[in-house]
């Protein structure tokens, strides 16, 4: 699969939480680039949808934001994971692992046959 894939519904939040957990506070642009890198540049992120998604996570209390200065001395809004966000990440990750495991069982025999 060499074409770039869009982000599936609902997985963006998980990616954001996971990235913030491993990288610490990030600004929006950095977060977007990091997600693309992590996916091995297979994902094509629509930057326009990222900001409303970040706002939603913030309203739900999973992340917090504050203005700061970027590595290039540019004013930017930085996002970081909250305690609630860490718990949410664990829950979502577990759910997601279960889903993929189930799907894997369906797909495995089909390939074998």
Partner 1 sequence: MRNLGSLWLRLRGLFGMRNANDDIGAELESHVAMHTEDGIRAGLAPEEARRQALIRLGGAEQTRQAYRERRTLPWLETLLRDFAYSLRTLAKHRGATSIAILSIGLGIGANATIFSMVSRFVLRPAPMSDPTTLLAVHTTHDGDQCCNSFPYPVYADLRDQAHSFSGVAAYNDLIPASIGGSGEPERVWGQAVTANFFAVTQLPMILGRGFATGEENAQEVVLGAALWRRRFNADPYIAGKPVTLSGHAFTVIGVVTPAFHGADQILYTEFWVPLGIAPLLAPNTPSQSERQFHWLNVLARLKPGVTPPQAKADLATLAGRFALTNPATDKGNHFVFEQAGSLPPRERNTVLIFLAALSVVVLLVLAIAGANVANLLFAQAAARQRDMAVRLALGATRARLRRQMLTESLLLGLGGGVLGVLLSLWATSALSDFRLPVPVPLDISIGIDWRVLVFSFALSIASGLLLGLAPAWAASRPLLANALKGEDALARPGRRFTLRNLLVVAQIAMSVVLLCVTGLFLRSLQSASTIDIGFRTDNLLMMSFDPSVHGYTPERSVNFMNQLQLRVAALPGVLSASVADVAPLSGYGRADGFRIPGSPDVDSSYVNTILVMVTPRYFDTLGIHRIAGSDFGSETANSTRVAIVNQAFVQQVLGGRNPIGVQVNGAGVLYRIIGVVGNAKSRTLGEETLPVLYRSLQQTIASDPSSMVGYTILVRTAASPNSLAQAVGSQIYALDRSMAIYNQQTMQEHIQAAYFLPHLAASLFGTFGFIGLVLAGVGLYGVMSYAVSRRTREIGIRMALGAQPGTVERLVLRQGLMLTLIAVVLGWPAAWVLSKLAATFLYGIQPHDALTFAIVPPFLIAVALVACWIPARRAASIDPMQALRTE
- Residues in contact with partner 1 by the rule CB under 8 A: 27-30, 33, 46-49, 51-52, 55-56, 59-61, 70, 72, 74-77
Q: How far is the CB of 105 from partner 1 (least distance, A)?
A: 32
Q: How far is the CB of 94 from partner 1 (least distance, A)?
A: 18
- Give 15 or 27: the residue with its C-beta nearer to partner 1: 27
Q: How far is the CB of 56 from partner 1 (least distance, A)?
A: 6
DSSP states along 82-93 = -HHHHHHHHHHH
- Tokens describing residue 21: 């957990």
- Give 41 or 111: the residue with its C-beta nearer to partner 1: 41
The distance of Cα 80 from the centroid of its chain, to the nearest Å, equals: 12
- Of 49, 48, 17, 11, nearest to 34 by C-alpha is 17
Q: How far apart are CA 17 and CA 21, in angstroms?
A: 6
């Amino acid at each position: 699969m060499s074409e770039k894939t869009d982000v599936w519904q609902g997985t963006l939040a998980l990616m954001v939480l996971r990235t913030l957990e491993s990288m610490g506070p990030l600004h929006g642009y950095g977060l977007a680039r990091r997600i693309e890198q992590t996916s091995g540049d297979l994902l094509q992120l629509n930057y326009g949808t990222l900001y409303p998604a970040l706002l939603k996570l913030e309203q739900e209390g999973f992340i917090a934001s504050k203005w700061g200065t970027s590595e290039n001395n540019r004013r930017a809004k930085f996002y970081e994971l909250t305690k609630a966000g860490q718990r949410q990440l664990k829950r979502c990750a577990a759910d997601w692992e279960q889903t993929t495991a189930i799907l894997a069982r369906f797909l495995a025999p089909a390939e074998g046959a």
